[in-house]
Amino acid sequence: MEQLILAFITGLTTGGLSCLAVQGGLLAGSLARQIEQDLLVARAGPLRPNIALPIALFLAAKLAAYTLLGALLGLVGAFLTPDPITRAGLMIFIGVVMVGNGLRMLNVHPIFRYFVIEPPRFITRAIRRTARGKTDFSTPLFLGALTVLIPCGVTQAMMAAALGAGSAVAGAALMAAFTLGASPVFFLVAYLATELGARLEKYFLRFVAVVVLILGLVTIESGLNVLGSPLSFASLTANLQPATETPETPTPAPVPTAVPPTAPPPTAAVATGAQKAPSAPVAATATQKGAATPAPIAPAVAGPDNAVAVLQLNVLNNGYVPRVLRAPANRPVSLALVTNKTYSCARDFVIPALKYYQLLPETGRITVEIPPQKPGTVMRFTCSMGMYTGQILFDG
Amino acid sequence: MIKKTYRVSDMYCANCAMRIEGLEDHWPGIVSIEASYRKGQMTVAFDEKRVTEAQILAAVARLGYTAQPG
């Protein structure tokens, strides 16, 4: 349910604007032409009552088409779930397309016009001639369904999310929520195309261009974060922050899994939590609900050179605390991830360098075993959306 | 029939090209219009006995765009 609300808000705030940049002008413009009495005259006039029905049909068809697409993606995704690295690549690609579109809309240079999808002439002619029908309500239905063929950047991101939804129903619900959220902006575009005319639409698109540009940069930043890139803004600024966490409790090595100081009674479930750790000896223990409450961190205690250093990271709804941790080099480290009524995407924890990916319990504690690292190593961690980040500094 | 290419530098989206191409539906003398937002141009094939170049350029101007011989 929470994911559906997020998808709806994404559609409402960014999806509609992004889709406007890629497809809105083309298809909503076609719809507007159907409503206009004469394209060549193109007089601005008041919004007439009969405009509402074709627009509603257009949006209903769009909703149905994307819901079906979501079901299909969910079904496919049940067999093929993209890992965070693949998603990061997709996010960067989408971000570049969005930035390119933003610069194109601002008319920075003609080269950015190559970021726009120009449908083949036979398709635009077919759409145009279909849109000319003045009384046939199948036209807006047809046009609405056609939008599924030219998804915008944010829609593609949502499609990727639908791919990872796990089932046809979840994928359909996700895309439906997103499309519903994006619908008001589409209505606005149709309204502007008829009410305000092309000239004012230009100014509106400039505003959209700036928003899309910013969103594109944010998307690229998120993709870089998920990849663990040192070039992301978050990584660059994280180096400016003081490290506030040092090893908590040394325990003798070798110990495969560290028992946290706030461990639950022996009856609590303990399970392997790492979903992916193909190239690094990473292990994890998970303690589910009722296990822990983020506790104050004890001061650093020096231990023997071969001891396992224990770090605690509090996973909160608004990110990770502390964002920068300090750990000894050349020693194994147990990183305890503590959640306490955490519902945000911060739960979807990724350490790119270790190819570690784990959906943390809403409340609980999961320990990640990190192998010894060289002095000077900066190990970045992030949520799978690249929104919340942090890093561990290994020093001698 | 005459076929001419014009620069239309003030198109701002792919829909602009489609709007301009829509003129061929309204003017019987226009055989075809191929407009490209990427290239910033349009190529018009028209019957000079039924529609003049000036009429076409005026129609484009009424849509909000400036076409210049390219």
Q: ipTM score of the complex? A: 0.76
Higher pLDDT, A336 or A246: A336
- Tell me whether A127 touches chain B (CB under 8 Å): yes
Lowest mean pLDDT among A160-164, A331-335, A351-355: A160-164
Please determine, for residue A204, whether its predicted confidence score (pLDDT) is greater than 50.
yes
For strand A324-328 and strand A389-395, is the pairing parallel, antiparallel, or unpaired? parallel
Instruction: Please check whether residue A63 is in contact with residue A179, taking contact to mean a CB–CB distance below 8 angstroms.
Output: yes
Higher pLDDT, A50 or A89: A89
- Tell me whether A107 touches chain B (CB under 8 Å): yes
Token digits of residue B13: 């989206």
Q: pLDDT at position A297, please? A: 39
Cβ-defined contact of A202 to B12 (cutoff 8 Å): yes
Task: Supply the mean pLDDT for chain A.
Answer: 72
Q: pLDDT at position A78, please? A: 77
If you average pLDDT over residues A188-193, what whole number do you get?
Answer: 65
Cβ-defined contact of B14 to A116 (cutoff 8 Å): yes
Q: Cα(A217)–Cα(A212) distance, rounded to whole angstroms?
A: 9
Q: Which helix (H) or strand (E) holds B7?
A: strand B2-8
Q: pLDDT at position B41, please? A: 92
Q: Which residues of chain B lie closer than 8 angstroms to A102, CB-CB?
A: none
A20-67: pLDDT as tens digits: 655 555 555 555 555 444 333 344 444 444 566 777 787 888 899 999
Q: pLDDT at position A252, please? A: 45
Q: pLDDT at position A303, please? A: 53
Q: Which residues of chain B lie closer than 8 angstroms to A128, CB-CB?
A: 18, 21-22, 25
Query: How far off is chain B from A167, nearest CA to CA, in Å?
Result: 36
Q: pLDDT at position A335, please? A: 95
Q: pLDDT at position A50, please? A: 56
Q: pLDDT at position A348, please? A: 85
Confidence band of A277 (pLDDT split at 50, 70, 90): very low
Instruction: Please check whether residue A82 is in contact with residue A73, taking contact to mean a CB–CB distance below 8 angstroms.
Output: no
Cβ-defined contact of A30 to B37 (cutoff 8 Å): no
The three-state secondary structure class of A325 is strand
Which among A113, A124, A199 is the nearest to B38, CB-wise? Answer: A113
Chain A CA closest to residue B27: A40
The pTM assigned to this predicted structure is 0.62
A114-156: pLDDT as tens digits: 887 677 777 777 766 666 655 456 667 777 787 777 676 677 7
Q: Cα(A140)–Cα(A157) distance, rounded to whole angstroms?
A: 26
Which among B13, B22, B63 is the nearest to A128, CB-wise? Answer: B22
Q: Cα(A329)–Cα(A266) distance, rounded to whole angstroms?
A: 32
Highest mean pLDDT among A55-59, A83-87, A225-229: A225-229
Low-confidence ranges of chain B (pLDDT < 50): none
Q: What proportion of chain A, given as a percentage, has pLDDT over 70? A: 62
Q: pLDDT at position A363, please? A: 92
Q: Cα(A125)–Cα(A320) distance, rounded to whole angstroms?
A: 53
Cis bond upstream, residue A254 (ω within 30): yes
Higher pLDDT, A317 or A195: A317
- Tell me whether A53 touches chain B (CB under 8 Å): no
Query: How far off is chain A from B33, nearest CA to CA, in Å?
Result: 10
Q: pLDDT at position A188, please? A: 75
Highest mean pLDDT among A148-152, A178-182, A289-293: A178-182
Contacts (Cβ under 8 Å, ≥6 apart) of B52: none
Start-to-end CA span in chain B (Å):
18
Instruction: Please check whether residue A372 is in contact with residue A330, taking contact to mean a CB–CB distance below 8 angstroms.
Output: yes
Q: pLDDT at position A194, please? A: 58
Lowest mean pLDDT among A271-280, A328-337, B20-29, B35-44: A271-280
Please determine, for residue A17, whether its predicted confidence score (pLDDT) is greater than 80.
no
Higher pLDDT, A161 or A92: A92
- The 3-class SS string of A234-260 reads HHHHHCCCCCCECCCCCECCCCCCCCC
Residues in chain A: 396
Q: Which residues of chain A lie closer than 8 angstroms to B28, CB-CB?
A: none
Q: How far is CA A104 from the centre of its chain?
A: 23
Count CB neighbours of A256 within 10 A.
Answer: 12
A352-386: pLDDT as tens digits: 999 888 888 889 999 999 999 999 999 999 988 78
